[in-house]
Structure 1
Amino acid sequence: MSRRNARKNPTRPQRPAVSADTPCPCGLTATYGACCGRFHAGPTTAPTAELLMRSRYSAFVVRDEAYLLRTWAPETRPGEVDFDRSLRWTGLEIRDTTDGTAFHQDGTVTFVARYTHGGAPGSLHERSRFRRHEGAWVYVDGEFLDGA
């Protein structure tokens, strides 16, 4: 590979160093490949709203736009995902889940996602709504909550 081709593309966000054998960013004890990576790679889908939430968080960490769009409800899905190069996701804490199992059509997951932005720490506290669409869980929308 030439030196020119080895340069980072300035228009594309640099992906964090996550591989199939590294710990999963979602916080569960499995490796990325055995946990969220299997959903990102497809064709397996997350069996619960909580696992979909975790896999979507991990997709933000690894900047997997295709997965995020694929798991977004059609009526609220944006045209693209704008990844902020100066934002780095650093941890996920699930605070509460309501419904969202194999026996439900809807569910909510309340979580805190921690990050650094330009080196400063921050957090996003949200209650996300999920529903089944064509048999698979999808993210519908979320309500931002105060306090993390």
Structure 2
Amino acid sequence: MAVMSSRPKTRSPRRCPCGGMPPYDECCGPAHAGTSPAATAEALMRSRYCAFAMGDAAYLLRSWHPTTRPKALDLQQGPRWERLEIVATTGGGLLHVDGTVEFRAYYRTPDGSPGVMHEVSRFVREKGQWTYLDGHQF
């Protein structure tokens, strides 16, 4: 006779795609849900990478500065994002109004070929909210 445990199974928290140490629900999840805005430019960068990885076009558009935001964003045919590496940051802290984040985002194309997107992104903070302004790719 098998012994049944009355203890509920615990699920390990889902790791955040941005590579942050807290699980998704404590890392980028609150920014995506609109319950806690990104506190720094780097936090916004991480949450935007995570949104690309999860296919959340609505969050990407909401976090894009209105002067450079596209009308629409189609993520259906995009690559599969695998890993984010933050290379450097300038400004973008709690007391700043602008900042940059240099990063490398590793991905696979739909045919399985690997690739790397290397960019320096510019961010601005207006009315307490960080937004992505633009970026320069290498």
TM superposition score normalised by structure 1:
0.82
Contact kept in structure 2, 1:73 and 1:133, CA below 8 Å: no
Equivalent in 36, 48, 61 of residue 44 of structure 1: 36
Q: Distance in 1 between matches of 2:58 and 2:74?
A: 12
Residue ranges of structure 2 left out of the alignment (5+ in a row): 1-11
The CA deviation string for residues 127-148 of structure 1, in whole angstroms up to 9 with x for no partner, is 0000012220000000012xxx
Q: Give the equivalent residue in structure 2 for 1:138.
A: 131
Post-superposition shift, 1:86? 5.3
Equivalenced residues, count:
126
Are 1:28 and 2:31 matched, yes or no?
no
CA–CA separation in structure 1 for the residues paired with 2:38 and 2:98: 14
Q: Does 1:64 align with 2:56?
A: yes
When Rg is computed on C-alpha atoms for both structures, the one with the higher figure is 2
**How far apart are residue 30 of structure 1 and its match?**
1.2
User: Which runs of 5 or more residues in structure 1 are unaligned?
Assistant: 1-19
| Structure 1 residues 78 and 86: alpha-carbon distance in aligned structure 2, compared to 1, 3 A threshold | closer
Corresponding residue for 1:126?
119
> Identity percentage over the alignment?
52
Secondary structure, counterpart of 2:26 in structure 1: coil
Match of 1:7 in 2: none
CA RMSD of superposed structures (Å): 1.3
